[in-house]
Amino acid sequence: MPPEDLEKASLRVFLERRLRLIESRLFELSRRYGVANVEELDRLIQSGGLHEAEAFEGYFEFDNLEAERERLEASLKELA
């Protein structure tokens, strides 16, 4: 296997593994707050269904993880 192919395959495995970890954490957050994404969590807080103090850290973690998931998916598409 040429070194370039090995490097590309290794990077793909790393990105896919990282993506699975992020999706797992997003699933945990979704279950905890009963929402599918950060926008729904924001609406829940805005409507008073959840106090901001209760979801403060979760909101930012959710948002950061969704952004990282998008970056990883874009990187994987570039590798294809």
Encode pLDDT of 58-74 as tens digits: 999 999 999 999 999 99
Planar angle of CA 31, 35, 39, nearest 5 degrees = 140
- Please determine, for residue 1, whether its predicted confidence score (pLDDT) is greater than 90: no
Give Cα 31 to chain centroid, integer Å.
Answer: 14
Is the predicted pLDDT of residue 20 greater than 90, yes or no? yes
pLDDT-derived band at 42, boundaries 50, 70, 90 = very high
Q: Please tell me the pTM assigned to this model.
A: 0.88
Do residues 55 and 33 lie in contact, with contact meaning Cβ atoms separated by under 8 Å? yes
* Whole-angstrom distance, CA of residue 72 vs CA of residue 62: 15
Q: What is the pLDDT confidence band of residue 80, given thresholds at 50, 70 and 90? A: confident
